Amino acid sequence: MSCNHCTGLSRSRLLHRAAAEAGRGLPVIEPGMPLPAGTGLSRRSFVTQSVGAMLAVYGASRLGVGAFEEGIASAATGPAQPILVSIFLEGGADALSVLSPQGDPLYRKLRPKLGLSSGAVFAEDDRLHWHPATAGLTQLYGEQKVTVMPAIGYTNADQSHFTSRHYWEVGATSTDLRTGWLGRYLDVVGTPDNPLQGLSLDDTLAPALATAKMPVASIDGPDQYDFWSNRVWGEVETRMLDAIGTLGVGNGDPAFSTAAGVTAQVDRLRTQLVPFQGSDGNPAFASPVAYPKSDDSFPRRLAGLAAMLAAGLPLRVVSLSAPGHYDTHSDQAGDLAQGLQLTSDSLLAFQRDLEARGLADRVLVHVWSEFGRRAQENGDAGTDHGAAGVGFLIGTRAKGKMIGEFPGLKTGLDDDGNVSATSDFRGVYAGLLEQWLGIDAGRVIPGAASFQRPALVK
Amino acid sequence: LSHVAAYRGSFGAAEAERLLWRAGFGPRKGEAEALAALGLDGAVHALTNPGRELLVGAAPKDEKGRPLAPYDAWGHDHVWWLDRMVRTSRPLVERMTLVWHDWFATSNGGVGSQRLMLNQNQLFRQRGLGPFHTLLLDITRDPAMLLWLNGSDNSRWSPNENYAREMMELFTLGAGRGYTETDVREQARALTGFRNDWKDDVGPVDFRYDPHQHDPGTKTIFKRRGAFTWKDSVRLAVSHPSHPSFFVRKLWSYFVAGSPDPATQRGLEHLYVSSGHDVRPVLAAILKHPALYEGGRVTKSPAVYTAGLLRRLGRGIDTTAWTWLDGMAGQQLFYPPNVAGWDDSRWLDTATWRGRWWIAQYVLRPYALDPAKDAQPYDANVLVENALAFWHRPPLAQSTHTALVGFAQNALADARSASWKRKQYAVMAQNALRHLIAVSPDLQTA
């Protein structure tokens, strides 16, 4: 791709356009003050163009013909990279409800109040039934686009949210690691000038994306990354926004340098996302499919993610938190169904969006939770922390063959009454790195050689 | 006598300003100089023994000038507390209230009652500098906590181990530090007995301890056997050999960058145990420690950042926007992300930084100069000087100063071509400079 059709768009024109469309009108026009260039240009026309290349020009006008231009341009125009999207069900989702073992004779005894009695049969193990709220996932499963991990975890499961989540985030049962497994992947394959390579669509950066060297980014959504100030507009506003990057100079102090480093990343990200800024709360992109309507931002974020991928932005790994409350110590049934429904419906829409845009073969979605919940329900119509949980890989390239198996409630529980793992999350990570992301897992996962790799990709 | 080192260097306005940021919400105009005049010991004594609270400045109001409704209106709880941070004469009490809110992180997302959350907040304010044992007893039976971690769901017939686990893992001992899964279950049994009722249109009411709900049987906790109750549960946790080291490390982390050296750690543990698990002497020792003054900077949390900017400008609470703005920056008070509280090592990323940009934008709104009416000099260096004076001269790194001057020079250069631009661009540049200073790495950290 070249940027022939975009070199005429100067950084200043883009910013003026952003200013004009940010829902606050144009600045007062004084005699002799030019109308901001580019006013009224269609925003969508940018999105359908080679966004990455255009942004390279934009960034380069300040940085000169430097690393940033090279980095974004080559990342955006290089060979299409496989993309991994990580979806976290925070709190420890109850695997025994997501795929309820209604065919296991002990299920009703352990779950007298919470036991489910409806839902489609799971084709690979007819003891298990899909939760009715996961109809979207069930549909994709029927199309061989979902790989199910019915009892994934690790031996000697830690029942602390924070410890177990940390293990999953760093890709090892170690409390000492300070980088995420996806972050270490980016440290191997990433570039120092492309913060979009690791993108957290969330209020804050997902720890799984924490890198040692490479920049990564966190945004609420691609259409919501605007900056302006009180009574500052036109050329001065352009200069002010450019000056954000010049504040990003570190010194010897770690906290100061971290703040400076984030400031520099804000500057790069802002320039990358200018074409997505909408007006009046409407994004500057259109989705080819309908997403669920919700107050939760999850469906909107997935819609934005598909638009960014379609625009050719150089993303590699992306992280989101699923909607819903999964730490269901009491009154589990309603909370769980609500979260699962929105998550599952949104993921179905996302998959259809990718398929409509011709991107489906490039994206694999990994759904995970820090643990499952105890087989025996507690007295509050809830469940306490357990061991093995449920996970999914979703995409047209997902193998669609169950990893591990459901171990049964008679012999499959550990001494604490929790489901034992029949697959190890580190083996799945190693498989994703090797079969999907294309690098040696030994460079990312400690002790990778010791984990069995299931076949994940077709 | 503790064996904890104390700072012996000069204690001027710069050191006093740093102390006010760590032990409070930064200085009001002239406050750092006044505190410096007391000397280090006098300053720490004043902070840790503050006397009666005085609220300085106008009472808080919403954007329409109405008084706040912190028990009822969404978001008013956040600004009600922010107002205390801005106006208090006892900054350390308020700062410790924030520490305990993070330590015993309870979210109204799970409690569903601003009244109960504010009652818990008042508990932290009243007990925050006293004995930890008392605080833990109070928080264990605190209604918001009983709802948040299912304490009042935990009965002899249906044990719920949520509070038992988090009490050991997050409040007293630390994950994997001297307890087993059996201890979790046995502690849960000991903690049975709390309950509450539910009234339609009111919500949870009548929180109480009901002996009939308590499991009176023998429990084995930390290899000791007894018919333990909730008070025993708390006592066993506080007297566990892993507790003092956990307490010291955690408390230290709220005030000083990096970990305490081994001698300091030992000295503070000794101080803590020998004082009968009292918070105040440990806190005073940390606030006098050389590492606070000679060590690295600390990133301000969003609430501290916002309160600090308002204090610096002498602006009171006149909008509830701070609730969603601080939420955007990653810290809506009364809504910590989970029971482990906020992650102090991850305040800043590209999303939360943008939240801080908007906080500064809102802070600066009433002060914005009008390019059509106001005047500023057409001189880059003077513009930067004026902007620094506006913020009462916070110390800035040379690189930040260079960036500000560079911006002002570029903005004025653009204006060369027309006289109306020379006038208006200087004013806009002044507005922009104030904003850039507020979001600089210098003001994000202290």
pLDDT in tens, A416-438: 999 999 999 999 999 999 999 99
Number of Cβ within a 10 Å radius of residue B215: 21
Identify the bridge partners of residue A282 per DSSP, sorted by sequence position.
A279
> CB–CB of B160 and A232 under 8 A?
no
Q: What is the mean pLDDT of residues A80-88?
A: 94
Chain B hits for A330, CB-CB cut-off 8 Å, are 150, 153, 160
Q: How far apart are CA A372 and CA A390, in angstroms?
A: 7
> CB–CB of A218 and B428 under 8 A?
no
Query: Has residue A335 got a pLDDT over 70?
Result: yes
For A14-18, A194-198, B324-328, which range has the lowest pLDDT when averaged over its residues?
A: A14-18
Q: At a CB cut-off of 8 Å and minimum separation 6, what does A109 contact?
A: none
Nearest chain A CA: its distance from B298 CA (Å): 6
- DSSP letter at B61 equals B
For A125-139, A165-179, B427-441, which range has the lowest pLDDT when averaged over its residues?
A: A165-179
pLDDT at residue A173 in the model: 93
Option in A162, A236, A253 nearest B296 (CB): A253
The answer to whether B155 and A379 have CB atoms below 8 angstroms apart is yes
Nearest chain A CA: its distance from B222 CA (Å): 18
Chain A hits for B299, CB-CB cut-off 8 Å, are 255, 258-259
Query: How confident is residue A385, by pLDDT bands cut at 50, 70 and 90?
Result: very high
pLDDT at residue B434 in the model: 98
> CB–CB of A161 and B338 under 8 A?
yes
**Of all residues in chain A, what percent carry a pLDDT higher than 70?**
82
CA nearest A222 in B: which residue? B351
Would you give the distance in Å from CA A432 to the centre of its chain?
A: 15
Answer whether B410 touches A (CB < 8 Å). Answer: yes
For an interface test with B, the pick among A16, A29, A262 (most B C-beta atoms closer than 10 Å) comes out as: A262
Reading the block at residue B208, the tokens are 């109480």
Query: Has residue A100 got a pLDDT over 90?
Result: yes
Look at residues B187, B107, B168 and name the one whose alpha carbon lies nearest to residue A327.
B107
Give A78 or A136, the one with higher predicted confidence. Answer: A136
pLDDT at residue A281 in the model: 64
pLDDT at residue A16 in the model: 31
Q: Which residues of A312-346 are buried (b: 16+ CB within 10 A; e: fewer)?
A: bbbbbbbbbbbbbbbbbbbebeebbbebbbbbbbb
For A165-179, A347-361, B287-301, B394-408, which range has the lowest pLDDT when averaged over its residues?
A: A165-179
Within 222-261 of B, beta carbons closer than 8 Å to A belong to 257
What's the whole-number average pLDDT of chain A?
Answer: 83
pLDDT at residue A280 in the model: 65
The answer to whether A168 and A389 have CB atoms below 8 angstroms apart is no
Query: Has residue A309 got a pLDDT over 50?
Result: yes
> CB–CB of A266 and B361 under 8 A?
no
Q: What is the mean pLDDT of residues A36-41?
A: 23
Option in A30, A247, A330 nearest B403 (CB): A247
Q: Which residue has the tokens 């999207």?
A: A85
Query: How confident is residue A35, by pLDDT bands cut at 50, 70 and 90?
Result: very low
Q: Residue B418 in 3-state DSSP?
A: coil
Q: How far apart are CA A193 and CA A56, in angstroms?
A: 11
Count how many pairs of residues, chain A against chain B, have C-beta atoms within 8 Å. Answer: 209
> CB–CB of B162 and A162 under 8 A?
no
DSSP H helices in A311-406:
332-356
> CB–CB of A160 and B296 under 8 A?
no
Sign of CA dihedral A364, A369, A370, A372: negative
Number of Cβ within a 10 Å radius of residue A145: 22
Q: How far apart are CA A170 and CA A174, in angstroms?
A: 8
Query: Has residue A56 got a pLDDT over 80?
Result: no
Residue B64 CA: distances (Å) to CA of A24, B94, B310, B318, B359: 22, 27, 19, 8, 19
For an interface test with B, the pick among A30, A201, A226, A230 (most B C-beta atoms closer than 10 Å) comes out as: A230
Phi, psi of A111 (to 5 degrees): -125, 60
Q: How far apart are CA A287 and CA B396, in angstroms?
A: 46
Q: How far apart are CA B414 and CA B339, in angstroms?
A: 52
pLDDT at residue A276 in the model: 80
Q: How far apart are CA B212 and CA A359, in angstroms?
A: 61
Nearest chain B CA: its distance from A212 CA (Å): 14
CA nearest B361 in A: which residue? A229
Q: How far apart are CA B155 and CA B35, in angstroms?
A: 51
CA nearest B295 in A: which residue? A253
Look at residues A279, A287, A276 and name the one whose alpha carbon lies nearest to residue A225.
A276
pLDDT at residue A447 in the model: 95
pLDDT at residue B426 in the model: 97
Answer whether B418 touches A (CB < 8 Å). Answer: yes
Chain B hits for A90, CB-CB cut-off 8 Å, are 338
pLDDT at residue A75 in the model: 61
Query: Has residue A13 got a pLDDT over 80?
Result: no
pLDDT at residue B2 in the model: 52
Nearest chain B CA: its distance from A225 CA (Å): 8
Option in B150, B370, B411 nearest A236 (CB): B411
Query: Has residue A144 got a pLDDT over 80?
Result: yes
Q: How far apart are CA A155 and CA B179, in angstroms?
A: 19
Query: How confident is residue A275, by pLDDT bands cut at 50, 70 and 90?
Result: confident
Query: How confident is residue A217, by pLDDT bands cut at 50, 70 and 90?
Result: confident
Answer whether B298 touches A (CB < 8 Å). Answer: yes
Nearest chain B CA: its distance from A441 CA (Å): 27
Of A48-62, A78-92, B381-395, where does the model show the most confidence?
A: B381-395
**pLDDT per position in chain B (446 positions), as tens?**
458 999 999 999 999 999 999 999 999 999 999 999 999 999 999 999 999 999 999 999 999 999 999 999 999 999 999 999 999 999 999 999 999 999 999 999 899 999 999 999 999 999 999 999 999 999 999 999 999 999 999 999 999 999 999 999 999 999 989 999 999 999 999 999 999 999 988 889 999 999 999 999 999 999 999 999 999 999 999 999 999 999 999 999 999 999 999 999 999 999 999 999 999 999 999 999 999 999 999 999 999 999 999 999 999 999 999 999 999 999 999 999 999 999 988 899 999 999 999 999 999 999 999 999 999 999 999 999 999 999 999 999 999 999 999 999 999 999 998 999 999 999 999 999 999 999 999 999 99
CA nearest A253 in B: which residue? B296
DSSP H helices in A190-278:
234-246, 254-273
DSSP H helices in B259-349:
262-274, 279-288, 290-294, 302-313, 321-328
- Tell me which amino acid residue B337 is: P
Q: What secondary structure, in 3-state letters, does B340-369 show?
A: CCCCCCCCCCHHHHHHHHHHHHHHHHHHCC
pLDDT at residue A206 in the model: 87
Sign of CA dihedral A10, A13, A17, A19: positive
Option in A220, A247, A255 nearest B445 (CB): A255
Q: Residue B18 in 3-state DSSP?
A: helix
Residue B219 CA: distances (Å) to CA of B2, B176, B232, B365: 37, 20, 11, 60
